[in-house]
A = this chain, B = another copy of it.
C-alpha cells in the first residue's frame, strides 16, 4: 500500500502495490486523459512525478518509446505504466510508508474544452408540442349525491375540461392522491405526460414551472440544454467533458473496458449518471429552477453512449455482426435510472439506426428536417465518430465512418482538444514557410486542435510542404522541415514560444497520415452513399456540417484537404450541434418524437466494410484532396499552380 497525492488538489488515495497511477487518478476522481483506456498504447496519460519516483517501477520500454526524452528527464511518466512498487513495509507502518506526489496541470483538469453547445435556429422547423403539459384543476368536492372516488373525480374533470382520455396514474402517486387533493382543497396544478400519465399533482402556483432537459452525450463532451416546455425555448446551456474519457478516448476502448471488467458497464454507467446529475444540478442552480420541476429528459448519443447510459451491455456492438440490444426509443422513469430530476419524469432515449449510427445521428436528421424536404442533403456529423447521411423526403441512407479521434486532435503527437492554448487557425507563408497561427484564449500554444490541423494540412499542401500523397518534402530548404528518428516532421512553433517550454510543437508524417485516414473515411462514406443512389456532386443541394469540428473549421480548408465532395462553398453550411438540436426537438415535439422512430425504422444503414468498392474509394480518398483530381474541379487550377 502506498499513498498517492495529486497536486495541486491535495487529493490522497491509497493504492496497492502493482496499482498504476492512472488507477490512482480514477480512484481520486482526477481526470487524466487516456485514449487507449490504460493499455500503454496511446502515450496520452502523461503525469509529472514531483516526489516519490523511487516508489514506482523503473521506466518501461513503452514509456521510452512514447514519451519525449526531454519530458522523461523532467520527471514525466505514463500514468498507466508507472506502478507502485514499494509497499512501505520497510518503514514499519503504512503512515510512515511510501508516497508519491503527482502533479496535474490545472488546465488539464479544470478547463473544459471549447465545447460546441450552440444549436442552429430551430423555430420554424417544427411547432412545439411537448409531451408534458400542466393543467389548472378545480374539482368540486365529493358530496353524498356525487361521491365519485378521488381518481375518477380528477380524471373526469381533466376529460371534460381538457379532453384527456384513459388517464393513468402511477402506483406511488396514487397512494399520495387522497392526501394531496385534500391538502390543496381540490384546487391544483396537474402535470400529465403524453396525455395519459399523471406525473405530478401540486399547488396551483407551480403551474408555470414545466421544464425539460435535453442532453447530448458525446464520447468526449456532454451538453445539456434546459428547456422551458411551455415557452418552447432553451433557457440555459451547460457543457462538460465526458467523465468516461479516462476509460478510453473512443467507444472501442470503452466497450473493451466493459468486456474485460465484469463490473465495467456498471462503473461507466454510474459515472455518466453522476455526471448528468451534476450537469443538471448546475444548470438548474444557475437558473433557479427546482429539480422536481424538470418533468422530462431527452437523451441523444451514439449507440454505445446510449447503451451505457441505460446500463445496456454494449459488448455485442463491439463484435461482428455488431447487434445493439434495442433500436427503438426507450422510455424509463428518472428514478429507475437514478437521474435526479422529478422522480416520475420520463427519460426518453432517442432510437438508433445501427450499432454505429446512434440517436445522435437521428438527432441531426430530425433537427435539419432533411427527411421532409425535396432538396437533397448530404450531412456529415463529425465528432469522435463520424457519420454521413444522404437523403431527402424520399429516402435517407446513412453510414458510419471509422474517422477516429484524429480530427479532434486528441490522438496526434501534439494534437489536443479544443481548449486553452490550442492552435485553431494556421497560415503558412508560401515563400518563407513562416507559420502564423491563433490559439484559443490567445495564450502561448500548447498543441494543435482539429480546426488548426485542417488549416495546417491545407496550408502545407498549398505551400507544397507536403505533396498530394501527404509526404513531407524533406528537400525543402527550411529548418521547419526535418526528420526525428527517421520520421519526417514539420515544426509549427519552437519550444521557447510554447507554454512551459514543452518542446517544439510539430506535426509528424504519422500525424498527417492519421488526418488523411480520417478525412478519407468521411469522403469515402459520402462517395459510397452517393454512388449507391447514382448521385453526383451537382445533384446535391446542400452539405451540412454538424458538430464542433465542422463548426470551428474553415470550410475552405476542409474542402482543400478533400473532406467532403466538391460542392460550391455557398451550399456548405454548419449547423452547430445537430445531435443536441435533435434532442431538443424530441423534447419539445411529440411529432418529432414519432418522426425519430420512423427514421430509425426507415433510414437505410449501409455497412461500408461489406460494400464492394469501398476499399478503393478509401484508398484514393487518402490523397489530398483526392487521387482523381477531376473530382475536385474547383480546386484543380489552384492546386496545380
- Give Cα A151 to B182, complex, Å: 44
Q: Are B320 and A151 in contact (CB under 8 A)?
A: no
Contact A147 B355 (CB under 8 A): yes
**Contact A174/B326 with A144-B320, A354-B147 known, Cβ cut-off 8 Å:** yes
Set of chain B residues within 8 Å of A171, measured between Cβ atoms? 310, 330, 332-333, 336
**Shortest distance in angstroms between A293's beta carbon and chain B's nearest beta carbon?**
24
Determine whether the beta carbon of A323 is less than 8 Å from that of B144: no
Indicate which residue in B311, B323, B354, B607 contacts A153 across the interface (CB closer than 8 Å): B323
The reply to whether A147 and B321 form a contact with Cβ atoms under 8 Å apart is: yes
**In the complex, are the beta carbons of A151 and B327 less than 8 A apart?**
yes
Partner of A323, one of B147, B316, B323, B607: B147
User: What's the Cα separation between A169 and B607 when bound, in Å?
Assistant: 28
Interface residue A551 (Cβ < 8 Å from any Cβ of B): no
Closest to A600 in B: B152
What chain B residues lie within 8 Å of A330 (beta carbons)? 171, 174
Which A residues, 284 to 321, have Cβ-Cβ distances below 8 Å to chain B? 310-313, 315-316, 320-321
Separation of A463 and B150 alpha carbons in the complex (Å) = 52
Complex Cα distance A151/B327, Å?
Answer: 7
Q: Which residues of B contact A18 (CB under 8 A)?
A: none
List residues of chain B with CB within 8 A of the CB of A137: none
CB–CB B147/A327 < 8 A: no
Q: Does A235 contact B (CB under 8 A)?
A: no
Query: In the docked arrangement, what's the CA distance between A213 and B191, Å?
Result: 35
The reply to whether B315 and A178 form a contact with Cβ atoms under 8 Å apart is yes
The residue in A147, A153, A310, A322 that gathers the most chain B C-beta atoms within 10 A of its C-beta is: A147
Could you tell me if B326 and A151 are in contact, using CB atoms closer than 8 angstroms?
yes
Over the window 144-171 of chain A, the binary record of Cβ atoms lying under 8 Å from chain B Cβ atoms (1 yes, 0 no) is 1111111111000000000000000101
- The number of chain A residues touching the other chain, given as a range, is 35 or more
Say if the beta carbon of A179 comes within 8 Å of chain B. yes
A464 in contact (CB, < 8 A): no
Rounded to whole angstroms, the CA-CA distance of A144 and B319 in the bound complex is: 11
A316: nearest residue on chain B (CB-CB)?
B178
Write the nearest CB–CB distance from A335 to chain B, whole angstroms: 11
CB pair B144–A327 under 8 Å, yes or no, is no
| Set of chain B residues within 8 Å of A637, measured between Cβ atoms | none
Any B CB within 8 A of the CB of A175: yes
**A562 CA to B321 CA, complexed, in Å:** 78
Q: Which of A113-145 contact B (CB under 8 A)?
A: 142-145
Question: Do B144 and A174 have beta carbons less than 8 Å apart?
Answer: no
User: Is B327 in contact with A149, judged by CB distance below 8 angstroms?
Assistant: yes
- Near B by CB (< 8 A), chain A positions 443-474 give none
Complex CA gap A142/B328 in Å reads 17
- Contact call A149/B325, Cβ cutoff below 8 A: yes
By the criterion CB–CB under 8 Å, are A313 and B355 in contact?
Answer: no
A435 in the interface (beta carbon within 8 A): no
Chain B residues near A149 (CB-CB < 8 A)? 323-327, 352
Assess the B178–A312 pair: CB atoms within 8 A.
yes
Contact A178-B325, Cβ < 8 Å, known A171-B332, A332-B171, A336-B171: yes
**Chain B residues, CB < 8 A from A327:** 148-149, 151-152
Nearest CB in chain B: distance from A280 CB, A: 20
- A171 vs B179: C-alpha distance in the bound complex, in angstroms? 30
A177 at interface (Cβ–Cβ under 8 A)?
A: yes
Q: Which of A149, A172, A333, A336 has the most CB of B within 10 A?
A: A149
Given the contacts A174-B312, A312-B175, A325 and B355 also touching, CB distance less than 8 Å: no
Pick from B144, B179, B313: contact of A321, CB under 8 Å: B144
B174 touches A325 (CB 8 A): yes
Interface flags for A397-421 (1: CB within 8 Å of B; 0: not) read 0000000000000000000000000
A326 pairs with B175, CB closer than 8 A? no
Flag whether A73 is at the interface (Cβ < 8 A): no
Residues in B whose Cβ lies below 8 Å from that of A610: 144
Chain B residues with CB under 8 Å of A153's CB are 323
Which residues of chain B have C-beta atoms less than 8 A from A143's C-beta? 321
**A323 to B142 alpha-carbon distance, docked (Å):** 7
Residue in B182, B313, B316, B328 whose beta carbon sits within 8 Å of that of A152 in the complex: B328
Residue pair A325, B144 in contact (C-beta under 8 Å): no
Chain B's closest residue to A155 (CB) is: B328
Q: Which residues of B contact A333 (CB under 8 A)?
A: 171
Give Cα distance in the complex from A336 to B333, angstroms. Answer: 14
Q: Which of B175, B323, B332 contacts A311 (CB 8 A)?
A: B175
Given A174-B325, A179-B313, A325-B177: A607 in contact with B152 (beta carbons within 8 A): no
Q: A175-B312, A332-B171, A610-B144 are in contact. Are A150 and B355 (CB under 8 A)?
A: no
Instruction: List residues of chain B with CB within 8 A of the CB of A182.
Output: 316
CB nearest neighbor in B for A179: B313
Which residues, 609 to 633 on A, are CB-close (under 8 Å) to B? 610
CA distance A352 to B323 in the complex (A): 47
* Residue in B closest to A320 when the chains form the complex, CB atoms: B144
Q: Decide: A147 and B322 in contact? CB cutoff 8 A.
A: yes
Given A150-B324, A179-B313, 14 new contacts (CB under 8 A) = A142-B321, A143-B321, A144-B607, A144-B610, A145-B321, A146-B321, A147-B355, A149-B324, A150-B316, A171-B330, A172-B336, A174-B312, A175-B313, A178-B316
Q: Which residues of A contact B (CB under 8 A)?
A: 142-153, 169, 171-172, 174-175, 177-179, 182, 310-313, 315-316, 320-328, 330, 332-333, 336, 352, 354-355, 607, 610
17 contacts between A and B (CB under 8 A): A144-B320, A144-B321, A147-B321, A147-B323, A148-B323, A148-B327, A149-B323, A150-B316, A150-B324, A152-B328, A174-B312, A175-B311, A175-B313, A177-B325, A177-B326, A178-B312, A179-B313
Shortest Cβ-Cβ A-B pairs, 9 listed: A151-B326, A142-B323, A149-B324, A147-B321, A144-B321, A149-B327, A178-B313, A147-B323, A171-B332
